Amino acid sequence: MRLQKYMAYCGVGSRRKCEELIKQGCVTVNGIKVTEMGLLIDPDKDKVVLNGKQVLKMEKEKHYIIFYKPQGIITSVKDPYGRKTVMDYMNWQGSRIYPVGRLDYDTEGLLLLTNDGDLALKMTHPKYEVEKEYYCIVKGVPNERKIEKLKSGINIGNFITAPAKVALLEKQRELSILRLTIHEGKNRQVRRMFQAIGHPILYLRRERIGNLTLDGLKIGEWRNLTKKEIYNLKKHIREVNNDTI
């Protein structure tokens, strides 16, 4: 098994996160630091250590949590500045789980947490094109030309976004309400997209990831996904990507 896959399987994080930790020199195998990708290990014989702590297979049970994140909390397991994190807010007492992707401190909405590393990778990597849908209130009223920029891809600073789906829901004198659907997850991407067309975000809520929605949840509430929801989520990713999961 490849090292990063084993680490993800053990619940360290997504494969992308595990690859970052390896590149940073945080991982040793049998006492030897590893910084290159692709090392094959035998989980039953080799000793993998991350920052001085042995990486062990997690319990077989996997957890899948859907959370309606409020504004004002950090999407992280821990925060070095002592700010309240989603884990603090949820007061989670089970085995280790991780947020899948991020929501900004000042953004609310749907967040998935799990210890299923393979699923986390497929939910966050752009090549799998898992849609994320946002309800956006912006300053002013963007015209068709500006909306077309969002639809065709826009430069948000050394990065051109993939084409987005955009629907203008309501126009008022000083603000507009839109629905934006993307499949990427760059830092503060939605805010940067609207900033780039001159209509900064006033309020932002993520309402959907793949086929998961906020239906039935109030702000600050969370629950376990049902077996049917987990099956349908994995089926949705397979159907979008012709993939196995």
C-alpha–C-alpha distance, residues 202 and 137, integer Å: 5
Query: Is residue 243 annotated as part of the catalytic site, yes or no?
Result: no
Residue in this structure with the two tokens 């659907």, named with its chain if needed: 181
**Nearest CA among 236, 183, 209 for reference residue 68:** 209
Annotated catalytic residue within 46, 79, 88, 104: 104
How distant, in Å, are the alpha carbons of 21, 52, 157, 200, 225 from that of 71? 29, 34, 25, 17, 22
Q: Is the Cβ–Cβ distance between 12 and 27 less than 8 Å? A: no
Q: For residue 51, which phi and psi values (nearest 5 degrees)?
A: 50, 45
Half-sphere exposure of 38 (CA within 13 A, CB side): 1
Cβ neighbors of 128 (< 8 A, separation 6 or more) are 122, 183, 237, 240, 241, 243
| Stated length of the chain | 245
Q: Which residues are catalytic?
A: 104
